[in-house]
Amino acid sequence: MKAKIYVTLKRGVLDPQGKAIRASLSHLGIDGVEDVRVGKFMEITLKEIGAEEARRRLDEACRRLLANTVIEEYRIEIGGQG
């Protein structure tokens, strides 16, 4: 089974990488971009353990390894083909 995890900075936390991207786009002449926030995105392939158990394990994975919960929040999507 497949799952997706999105890790993003919490609202209010400064995102210097996003600011750098916005500035670079402007220098390239690509206008109209007001703000950029950068996050991580993970596509997970799991054994067939059931959606509930998968969510439990991925939640633990996020809390212990994948997200810094002081400054980041995460979202888990179970299912889908890709």
C-alpha–C-alpha distance, residues 75 and 50, integer Å: 18
Q: Which residues sit opposite 76 in a β-bridge?
A: 5
Which one among 12, 14, 16, 31 touches a second copy, defined by CB under 8 A? 31
Contacts with a second copy in 39-78 (CB under 8 A)?
Answer: 39-47, 49, 53-54, 57, 60-61, 64-66
Closest CA to 58 of 72, 42, 76, 31: 76
Contact status, residue 10 vs residue 73, Cβ threshold 8 Å: yes
The answer to the question of residue 32 lying near a second copy (CB under 8 A) is yes
Name the residues that contact a second copy, by CB under 8 A. 6, 8, 18, 21, 24-25, 28, 30-47, 49, 53-54, 57, 60-61, 64-66
